[in-house]
Amino acid sequence: MYNKKNIRLGVSVVCTLCTALIIGGVIRSEKAQQTKQAFFEPEYMQMSEKASIIASMLEKNYIENFDDTELSEKMYAAMTDAMDDPYTCYLTKEQMTAFTDDSSGRMSGIGVVIAEEDGHCIIKEVLEDSPAEKAGIKAGDIITEIDGTDVSGMPITEISAMTKGVENTNVNISVMRGTKRLDFNVERKSIELKYVTGKCDGNIGYIKITEFSQVAAEQFKTMLADLEKQNIKGLIIDLRNNPGGIIDVVAEIADTILPEGLITYTVDKYGNRRDILSAEGELDMPVAVLVNGGSASASELLAGALQDRKKGIIIGTQTFGKGIVQGLYSLSDGSGLKITIQKYYTPNGVCINGIGITPDYVIENDGNEDLQYNKAMELLKTKD
């Protein structure tokens, strides 16, 4: 974690400057002000040097034993936390592995789809035949703790990473089901993820996308081709509670639907703009898109592109409002960083970050009936 030889040289200078006095249980230095002047002004000390000296001081003086690795991991996490951005974070080696496995279309985890609602982590879906289903976890459960760590207020991405890990290892999940707390010990298993499902409802096709992972575009195209063979006359795309995913994947899906032109564009901190374009050709049928407060990031990108390009009717409630893009960076020890690097804009030049997308038809579901789906069916049938 640090160069002990260099640190000891630094600390030895500090010790020669100070005479320690014990006053009321607190050790003070007669020349503490001199020491502070000499070592802690920015022009005298780089960030890495200061971190090394603090680590060495703790190692030499802290009364209890502590784990060097745990100290360093918390320090790295604190650096990204200081950005005050819930999407910029440090990933341990285990979290990095789980994150990249998930994006690839396979994961080792418990098999749940989660979303943030009113500051809580809600289980929106439990995958069929998954470890979570076998353990008794149900949709609607609120995750409160994972392995004894309170997850209240944590970003969904971090909570998701905590549920994943090495196959055949166990994770303790605590949930609230109504007013009752339930604890589950769940064994992680390798899960082949299916991000796209669909059906034919009369002459209207329905496709639900749960996340834009690497395999989602191919799964979408396969499902769409199957529905087209059934002579559908309209298409419903359900993006409700879809937290997002890979921007190139959602662009590939948008390209399947949109005519030639702009899908979205991104802008980085230096003002560099990158246009993402659809090629010639488009889906020749009316499209309706279902969204809600759990539709975020790449879901909003797709909904915004279809709305601005007049290619889709948006139905549901205001979306989450994540109009920023993260880059994933691998470090040599297997850990990584997820850093917010760009803002993205709809074709009309709108950045929806912190705002979200307002549907063309704002409709709340009543819990007993899917009014949003019904409205989509109604509108598409009138265009038949």
Active site residues: 297, 308, 322
Burial call 266-304: b when 16+ CB within 10 Å, e when fewer: beeeeeeeeebebeeebeebbbbbbbbbbbbbbbbbbbb
Q: Which residue has the tokens 């920023």?
A: 324
Structure token digits, residue 39: 């070592």
DSSP 8-state class, residue 141: P
Nearest residue to 4 via CA among 62, 56, 44: 56
Tokens (6 digits) for 194:
């299916």
Tell me the CA distances in angstroms from 112 to 87, 126, 141, 246, one per residue in order.
Answer: 21, 5, 11, 19
Q: Classify the phi-psi angles of 349: left when phi > 0, otherwise alpha if psi is within -120 to 50, otherwise beta.
A: left
Provide the strand spans (E) within 244-359: 261-268, 273-278, 287-291, 313-316, 324-330, 336-345
DSSP type of residue 138: -
Cα–Cα separations (whole angstroms), residue 355 to 23, 43, 170, 322, 358: 55, 41, 38, 8, 9
Terminal-to-terminal C-alpha distance of the chain: 65
Integer Cα distance of 317 and 311 in angstroms: 19
